[in-house]
Amino acid sequence: MARNDYRAMLSKRMEKEFSGWFEQEHIQEKDLYRFLHTMKGTAGTIGLDEMSSFCSSQLENLSDTSETLIPVRSLKNFISLMRSFFHSNEENAVLEEEIEEVPVSIEENGSFVLIIDEDAEFASYIKETLEENGVQAVIALTGKRGVELFYTLQPHMVIMDAQLPDMNGFDILTQINDIARSRHVPITLVSVDGRAENFSKAYEMGAMDFIPKPININVFIPYVSNRLKYRSAIWQSALTDELTGAGNRRQFTQTLSQMSALAERKRHTYSLVMLDLDHFKKINDQYGHPAGDEVLRSFSSLVLRMKRETDYFFRYGGEEFALLLADTIPAEAIVLIERIRSKFAETAFTIPPFDPFHVTFSAGVSEYRIDEATVLNEADQALYKAKRNGRNQSVVYALDSGDVKRHLNIMIVDDDLLVRKMLSKQFAGWKPNEIDVLIHEYPDGISFLESDWYKPDENYMILLDGIMPKMDGLEVLTNVRKRFPDDNIVISMLTARTNEADIVLALKSGADDYIVKPFHPQEVVARVQRLTKRMFK
């Protein structure tokens, strides 16, 4: 999106703020401070340098905690001056678009950045500039949502504002820093408050960088590229999951290949066990993510103690683990797994002020027969069956049982027939081995909601148009989030960005992401693959 479009969006947001002021006689000093705080960072980032400097000078005279009442009528000159910054730039808008430099390209494929910032214009500008350079980004407008997305989407980098509506960035840093370090995820704090003590505090608490707003986008993009490449190099060199002590996904892949090659050469067999902690998301939701981390560490410690020296144990992803047992048939593997399952079920976790609670796990076992892809798929099928049968049990894959693939339902809700058909055609070409992708089309929100579409054991990706006849996309979004759980439903809004307020409201109402129209269908598929990945770990 051109920089001039962001100026128009920022102007609309400013006018909305002014309209709210005009409806009352006074505003509090801290509200004016927050308004200028936001405007300063965004204005400088999108090229309104004079406006940013003006806001900065005004902030020096205000307090972010004062409840002193300021008469709205006394702000008329201030409001007029703020408006003038936009008017003075209109005549240069076309020229600036013509000479605007092409952003530096970020080459790392599959990079994924989480942006935590209440300033929707700033966050959107950063997100879309990154995505123009090949890096996916997702926005959280609150600290609580940011922490949730950090744990569920596992980003490669976090960029967050030091001041958020529900908590500050330093509070978030305290919650996620240990896990970020274990995953080698760089955390960058940004803020209009560039005092030296904020730099020191950020570095002392574990942030990799502290960058004052406004940012220079032509410097910021190469900076993000640098950090992502550095993170990738470190990640590739690490083989152990630091949180749990188990081998990581990369080590699992290497070991699985080695054992498969050995099985082919020497006609040895091995068993693969996939283990998944039951209802783990509820643990995070009820007791907090630190409690969830303690459960993961305890489970891993137990397995590492009880497994044989010749067995290999890995954290496959999230709350899912894997065991490779050499020279072992499934019947023998089940004996070990059941001992571990019984012992783990006895473990009591105590998180004050809550009562002690217990956690169980489900397991799927398969034996190497054809190749590593087959043994992995069959173990996954057995695990899925164990979970569908009620969890807290172990299931061995049976050759005559038939595959029970997990379903991902792609729900395309858009009144534009061309968009629906274009996306349906693109998704029809996506055929992952372990998942059945089912595509459903709806011309409006009412027909979607009345279709009896939801089944608890299924997984859903909803692509929801923001503006539709009969029922607005935001109303559909709110309806879905109120009526259905969110652990098996991912929602992405399709928007032409004609109304910035809709995007903000959508994110606050529970949208996981938004995709800007016009878009390339293959880019939508890649994005859906990323967003739904957590449901199939």
Q: Which residues form the catalytic set?
A: 319
Q: Is residue 161 within 8 Å of 190, Cβ to Cβ?
A: yes
Count of helices and strands (H, E) across the chain: 20, 17
Question: What are the contacts of 198-202 at 24+ separation with CB within 8 A?
Answer: 198/162, 201/170, 202/162, 202/170, 202/173
Chain CA centroid to CA 361, Å? 25
Q: Which amino acid is at 169?
A: G
136-140 β-sheet, strand order: 136-140, 112-116, 157-161, 187-191, 209-212
Angle, vertex CA 336, rays to CA 330 and CA 342, nearest 5: 125
CA–CA gap between residue 171 and residue 207 (Å, rounded): 12
CA–CA gap between residue 306 and residue 245 (Å, rounded): 14
Angle, vertex CA 499, rays to CA 51 and CA 523, nearest 5: 105
Would you give the DSSP letter of residue 313? E
Collapsing DSSP to helix, strand or coil, 144 comes out as helix
Question: What are the contacts of 342-348 at 24+ separation with CB within 8 A?
Answer: 343/302, 343/306, 344/299, 344/302, 345/392, 347/298, 347/302
406-413 β-sheet, strand order: 435-442, 406-413, 459-465, 489-495, 513-516
Take residue 140 and report the two structure tokens written for it. 């959280």
- Residue by residue, what is the 3-state secondary structure of 152-189? HHCCCEEEEECECCCCEHHHHHHHHHHHHHHCCCCEEE
